[in-house]
């Protein structure tokens, strides 16, 4: 298959504004010497980072667009910044290979949003990867559409999709319909694939392609030191209701990953910043350079792995059924036996009527059985002779 059959791809970078896990007092004047303060020479504040990203987008309007999505739940308002990268943009963007990246879900993981900013800087061509040929980079970028999003802070919520950040993520996934999704965290060095809720990986060709891709990344960029496999089988605990499993199992995104880009196992349990983020310039730059290079490798190899999974078919020609399609095509457009379109509310009323009919039928049967039993009891009751006067 020729490269130009994958004429271009989208990278959708979703940036979540990162709040540090240490309070402002701890960050500047830590009362305990074992707590590492945030190095402001290396890391942006949330406001400064978003200002830098907005300025970068405005300098390159032919490559980037930026949107802010809002969501609310009982007075809690969330803002999610979404940056979309696409060179050679066309009206039919659905024909391109689409990548959705998520950074900064956890406020303590500042290094993840710094990586997002580095990737955007490389996409803008204001910065370049060390030892990467610029012609090769341009060939890769011409085939990419990237979206990147960034939630404000974390809360498990009271139920599935009760929180505005998770609602916004679901909306992004279902509307953008990516071919590849990566959730970026820190705390260890790992390249994970589904599942998180059980100690196993999926079956089938797509699972084999995901395993092949993370193996290539691990050997090429990390000398095999990253943990690989399913998140549930590798981190020592099972996590239920994660974005990774939802996006793979329900939203049907074919290539789904969770990357853990840094972790300091020697850090004290209470030393939140050091545990999740590099604290010196050398390590900081190494992490950003290694993982930026890894992402551009996955941008290049991801389409080919999907081609192999589809037996040589162009992945952009494959119809992946999303939940939106399911709801629109099955529930909202479902027809009754009389050929009339039925809305979800009408279907609900029909179900209620059906259950009510069953309830009434059960009541009639029970009353019939009860009356029959009383009649039999009367017939079988022995007659008592009358006493002679």
Extract the tokens encoding 2.
């020729």
Q: What is the pLDDT of residues 212-238, one digit of tens each?
A: 999 999 999 999 999 998 888 777 777
- Dihedral (Cα; 130, 222, 196, 267), 10-degree rounding: -100
* pLDDT confidence band for 94 (50 / 70 / 90): low
pTM over cut 0.75: no
Query: Which has the higher per-residue pLDDT, 128 or 214?
Result: 214
Topology, domain 3-327: Aminopeptidase (3.40.630)
Query: Which has the higher per-residue pLDDT, 88 or 186?
Result: 186
- The gap from C-alpha 201 to its chain's centroid, in whole angstroms, comes to 17
Whole-number Å distance between alpha carbons of 371 and 140: 81
Cβ contact 190:227 at 8 Å: yes
Question: pLDDT at residue 89 above 60?
Answer: yes
């Amino acid at each position: 298959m020729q490269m130009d059959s994958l004429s271009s791809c989208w990278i959708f970078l979703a940036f979540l504004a990162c709040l540090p896990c240490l309070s402002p007092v701890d960050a500047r004047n830590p009362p305990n010497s074992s707590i590492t303060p945030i190095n402001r020479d290396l890391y942006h504040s949330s406001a400064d980072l978003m200002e830098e990203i907005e300025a970068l987008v405005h300098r390159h309007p032919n490559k980037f667009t930026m949107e802010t999505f809002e969501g609310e739940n009982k007075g809690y308002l969330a803002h999610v910044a979404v940056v979309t990268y696409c060179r050679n943009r066309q009206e039919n963007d659905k024909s391109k290979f689409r990548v959705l990246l998520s950074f900064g879900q956890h406020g303590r993981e500042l290094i993840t949003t710094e990586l997002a900013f580095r990737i955007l800087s490389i996409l803008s061509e204001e910065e370049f990867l060390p030892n990467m040929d610029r012609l090769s980079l341009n060939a890769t970028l011409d085939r990419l559409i990237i979206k990147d999003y960034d939630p404000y802070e974390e809360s498990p919520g009271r139920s599935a999709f009760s929180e505005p950040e998770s609602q916004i993520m679901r909306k992004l996934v279902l509307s953008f319909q990516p071919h590849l999704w990566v959730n970026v965290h820190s705390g260890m060095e790992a390249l994970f694939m589904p599942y998180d809720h059980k100690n196993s990986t999926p079956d089938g060709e797509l699972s084999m392609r995901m395993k092949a891709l993370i193996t290539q990344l691990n050997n090429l960029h990390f000398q095999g030191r990253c943990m690989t496999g399913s998140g549930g089988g590798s981190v020592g605990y099972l996590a239920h209701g994660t974005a990774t499993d939802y996006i793979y199992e329900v939203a049907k995104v074919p290539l789904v990953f969770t990357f853990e880009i840094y972790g300091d196992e020697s850090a004290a349990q209470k030393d939140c910043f050091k545990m999740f983020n590099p604290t010196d310039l050398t390590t900081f730059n190494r992490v950003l350079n290694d993982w930026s290079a890894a992402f551009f490798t996955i941008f290049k190899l991801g389409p080919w792995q999907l081609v192999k999974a589809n037996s040589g078919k162009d992945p952009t020609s494959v119809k992946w059924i999303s939940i939106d399609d399911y709801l629109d095509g099955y529930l909202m457009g479902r027809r009754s036996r009389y050929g009339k379109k039925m809305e979800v509310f009408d279907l609900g009323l029909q179900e209620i009527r059906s259950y009510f009919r069953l309830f009434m039928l059960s009541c009639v049967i029970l009353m019939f059985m009860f009356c029959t039993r009383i009649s039999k009891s009367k017939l079988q009751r022995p007659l008592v002779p009358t006493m002679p006067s």
